[in-house]
Structure 1
Protein backbone atom coordinates (compact mmCIF):
# COMPACT_ATOMS: atom_id res chain seq x y z
CA UNK A 1 0.00 0.00 0.00
CA UNK A 2 1.01 3.62 -0.49
CA UNK A 3 0.22 6.43 1.90
CA UNK A 4 -0.29 9.75 0.11
CA UNK A 5 0.04 12.83 2.31
CA UNK A 6 -0.89 16.37 1.33
CA UNK A 7 0.05 19.42 3.38
CA UNK A 8 -2.55 22.16 2.90
CA UNK A 9 -2.30 25.69 4.28
CA UNK A 10 -5.03 27.03 6.54
CA UNK A 11 -4.39 30.71 5.73
CA UNK A 12 -3.69 32.69 2.59
CA UNK A 13 -0.64 34.93 2.19
CA UNK A 14 -2.52 37.84 3.84
CA UNK A 15 -3.25 35.74 6.93
CA UNK A 16 -6.94 35.20 6.16
CA UNK A 17 -8.37 31.74 6.78
CA UNK A 18 -9.32 29.84 3.66
CA UNK A 19 -13.06 29.11 3.43
CA UNK A 20 -14.01 25.73 4.90
CA UNK A 21 -15.55 24.81 1.56
CA UNK A 22 -12.03 24.43 0.07
CA UNK A 23 -11.18 21.66 2.55
CA UNK A 24 -14.63 20.13 2.10
CA UNK A 25 -14.02 20.07 -1.65
CA UNK A 26 -10.66 18.29 -1.21
CA UNK A 27 -12.27 15.78 1.15
CA UNK A 28 -15.07 15.05 -1.32
CA UNK A 29 -12.75 14.78 -4.34
CA UNK A 30 -10.39 12.34 -2.63
CA UNK A 31 -13.24 10.29 -1.18
CA UNK A 32 -14.81 10.04 -4.63
CA UNK A 33 -11.48 9.11 -6.26
CA UNK A 34 -10.11 6.70 -3.63
CA UNK A 35 -13.01 5.66 -1.40
CA UNK A 36 -11.84 7.50 1.70
CA UNK A 37 -9.64 10.23 3.14
CA UNK A 38 -8.42 11.44 6.53
CA UNK A 39 -8.01 15.14 7.35
CA UNK A 40 -6.18 16.05 10.54
CA UNK A 41 -8.00 19.30 11.37
CA UNK A 42 -7.67 19.64 15.14
CA UNK A 43 -3.91 20.02 15.43
CA UNK A 44 -2.48 22.13 12.65
CA UNK A 45 1.23 21.70 12.09
CA UNK A 46 3.53 24.65 11.60
CA UNK A 47 5.65 24.65 8.46
CA UNK A 48 8.63 26.95 8.04
CA UNK A 49 10.96 27.57 5.12
CA UNK A 50 13.41 30.17 3.90
CA UNK A 51 12.34 32.15 0.86
CA UNK A 52 14.66 33.34 -1.91
CA UNK A 53 15.36 36.58 0.02
CA UNK A 54 16.52 34.69 3.11
CA UNK A 55 13.43 35.46 5.19
CA UNK A 56 11.80 32.64 7.14
CA UNK A 57 8.19 32.08 6.14
CA UNK A 58 5.63 30.19 8.20
CA UNK A 59 2.38 28.35 7.46
CA UNK A 60 -0.18 26.59 9.60
CA UNK A 61 -0.98 23.43 7.67
CA UNK A 62 -3.23 20.43 7.95
CA UNK A 63 -2.38 16.92 6.87
CA UNK A 64 -4.60 15.07 4.41
CA UNK A 65 -4.02 11.33 3.92
CA UNK A 66 -5.19 8.78 1.38
CA UNK A 67 -4.29 5.09 1.13
CA UNK A 68 -3.86 3.72 -2.41
CA UNK A 69 -2.72 0.46 -3.95
CA UNK A 70 -0.51 2.16 -6.54
CA UNK A 71 0.61 5.72 -7.15
CA UNK A 72 -0.41 7.42 -10.40
CA UNK A 73 2.21 10.18 -10.45
CA UNK A 74 0.65 12.02 -13.40
CA UNK A 75 -2.78 12.17 -11.69
CA UNK A 76 -1.20 13.51 -8.49
CA UNK A 77 0.85 16.05 -10.44
CA UNK A 78 -2.28 17.46 -12.08
CA UNK A 79 -4.14 17.44 -8.75
CA UNK A 80 -1.24 19.22 -7.01
CA UNK A 81 -1.32 21.95 -9.65
CA UNK A 82 -5.08 22.36 -9.15
CA UNK A 83 -4.57 22.66 -5.37
CA UNK A 84 -1.80 25.22 -5.85
CA UNK A 85 -4.20 27.40 -7.86
CA UNK A 86 -7.10 26.88 -5.46
CA UNK A 87 -5.01 27.71 -2.38
CA UNK A 88 -2.90 30.40 -4.14
CA UNK A 89 0.38 28.64 -3.34
CA UNK A 90 3.67 28.45 -5.23
CA UNK A 91 3.99 24.84 -4.17
CA UNK A 92 1.90 22.33 -2.25
CA UNK A 93 3.70 19.29 -0.93
CA UNK A 94 2.31 15.88 -1.78
CA UNK A 95 4.40 12.92 -0.68
CA UNK A 96 4.01 9.15 -0.92
CA UNK A 97 5.47 6.40 1.24
CA UNK A 98 5.20 2.65 1.28
CA UNK A 99 3.24 1.29 4.23
CA UNK A 100 2.44 -2.14 5.58
CA UNK A 101 -1.17 -2.46 6.69
CA UNK A 102 -1.24 -4.70 9.75
Structure 2
Protein backbone atom coordinates (compact mmCIF):
# COMPACT_ATOMS: atom_id res chain seq x y z
CA UNK A 1 0.00 0.00 0.00
CA UNK A 2 1.19 3.53 -0.79
CA UNK A 3 0.18 6.96 0.44
CA UNK A 4 0.25 9.62 -2.29
CA UNK A 5 0.29 13.29 -1.31
CA UNK A 6 -0.35 16.26 -3.58
CA UNK A 7 0.85 19.63 -2.25
CA UNK A 8 -0.85 22.66 -3.79
CA UNK A 9 -0.57 26.38 -3.02
CA UNK A 10 -3.57 28.25 -1.67
CA UNK A 11 -2.80 31.24 -3.93
CA UNK A 12 -1.53 31.75 -7.45
CA UNK A 13 1.77 33.49 -8.22
CA UNK A 14 0.05 36.89 -8.16
CA UNK A 15 -1.29 36.25 -4.66
CA UNK A 16 -4.91 35.62 -5.70
CA UNK A 17 -6.52 32.80 -3.70
CA UNK A 18 -7.77 29.77 -5.56
CA UNK A 19 -11.49 29.24 -5.15
CA UNK A 20 -12.98 26.54 -2.97
CA UNK A 21 -14.45 25.03 -6.15
CA UNK A 22 -10.93 24.45 -7.55
CA UNK A 23 -10.03 22.24 -4.60
CA UNK A 24 -13.47 20.62 -4.47
CA UNK A 25 -13.13 19.60 -8.13
CA UNK A 26 -9.77 17.94 -7.46
CA UNK A 27 -11.19 16.18 -4.42
CA UNK A 28 -13.97 14.70 -6.55
CA UNK A 29 -11.52 13.74 -9.31
CA UNK A 30 -9.38 11.81 -6.82
CA UNK A 31 -12.21 10.20 -4.86
CA UNK A 32 -13.56 8.13 -7.75
CA UNK A 33 -10.47 6.19 -8.89
CA UNK A 34 -9.03 5.77 -5.38
CA UNK A 35 -12.28 5.11 -3.49
CA UNK A 36 -11.63 8.08 -1.24
CA UNK A 37 -9.46 11.11 -0.63
CA UNK A 38 -8.44 13.16 2.38
CA UNK A 39 -8.04 16.90 1.80
CA UNK A 40 -6.47 19.18 4.38
CA UNK A 41 -8.12 22.44 3.35
CA UNK A 42 -9.24 24.16 6.56
CA UNK A 43 -5.80 24.61 8.16
CA UNK A 44 -3.25 25.20 5.39
CA UNK A 45 0.38 24.34 6.09
CA UNK A 46 3.01 27.08 5.99
CA UNK A 47 5.80 26.44 3.50
CA UNK A 48 9.13 28.19 3.09
CA UNK A 49 11.68 27.59 0.35
CA UNK A 50 14.75 29.28 -1.03
CA UNK A 51 15.47 30.40 -4.57
CA UNK A 52 19.05 31.59 -4.63
CA UNK A 53 19.43 34.24 -1.93
CA UNK A 54 15.66 34.79 -1.69
CA UNK A 55 13.24 33.09 0.68
CA UNK A 56 9.64 32.55 -0.40
CA UNK A 57 6.71 31.69 1.84
CA UNK A 58 3.44 30.09 0.84
CA UNK A 59 0.48 28.33 2.35
CA UNK A 60 -0.34 24.92 0.95
CA UNK A 61 -3.15 22.41 1.09
CA UNK A 62 -2.55 18.67 0.96
CA UNK A 63 -4.57 15.94 -0.74
CA UNK A 64 -3.94 12.28 0.17
CA UNK A 65 -5.00 9.03 -1.44
CA UNK A 66 -4.04 5.43 -0.72
CA UNK A 67 -3.36 2.98 -3.54
CA UNK A 68 -1.91 -0.49 -3.96
CA UNK A 69 0.07 0.35 -7.10
CA UNK A 70 1.88 3.48 -8.27
CA UNK A 71 1.63 4.26 -11.99
CA UNK A 72 4.36 6.88 -12.41
CA UNK A 73 3.28 7.78 -15.95
CA UNK A 74 -0.28 8.43 -14.81
CA UNK A 75 0.89 10.49 -11.83
CA UNK A 76 3.26 12.44 -14.09
CA UNK A 77 0.36 13.29 -16.39
CA UNK A 78 -1.75 14.30 -13.40
CA UNK A 79 1.06 16.56 -12.12
CA UNK A 80 1.39 18.26 -15.52
CA UNK A 81 -2.37 18.89 -15.62
CA UNK A 82 -2.31 20.32 -12.07
CA UNK A 83 0.62 22.59 -12.93
CA UNK A 84 -1.43 24.02 -15.79
CA UNK A 85 -4.65 24.28 -13.79
CA UNK A 86 -3.01 25.93 -10.78
CA UNK A 87 -0.54 27.95 -12.88
CA UNK A 88 2.55 26.56 -11.15
CA UNK A 89 6.05 25.82 -12.42
CA UNK A 90 6.14 22.65 -10.33
CA UNK A 91 3.54 20.80 -8.26
CA UNK A 92 4.91 18.38 -5.67
CA UNK A 93 3.41 14.90 -5.71
CA UNK A 94 5.12 12.41 -3.43
CA UNK A 95 4.43 8.85 -2.40
CA UNK A 96 5.61 6.53 0.32
CA UNK A 97 4.96 2.92 1.28
CA UNK A 98 2.67 2.48 4.26
CA UNK A 99 1.41 -0.40 6.35
CA UNK A 100 -2.13 -0.37 7.67
CA UNK A 101 -2.76 -1.65 11.18
| Displaced runs of 4 or more, over 6 A | none
Cα deviations across residues 43-88 of structure 1 (Å, max 9, x unaligned)?
Answer: 211111112x421111100111000001011000000000001111
How many residues align structurally? 101
Bigger Cα displacement from structure 2, 41-50 vs 73-82: 41-50
Q: How does 1:13-92 map to 2 (within 5 A)?
A: 13-51=13-51, 53-92=52-91
> How many Å apart are 1:91 and its aligned residue?
0.5
Secondary structure (helix, strand or coil) at the match of 1:15 reads: coil
Q: Who is 2:7 aligned against?
A: 7
Partner SS state of residue 15, structure 2: coil
- Structure 1's unaligned 5+ residue stretches are none
Q: What are the ranges of 5 or more consecutive residues in structure 2 without an aligned counterpart? A: none
1:41 Cα deviation after fit? 1.3
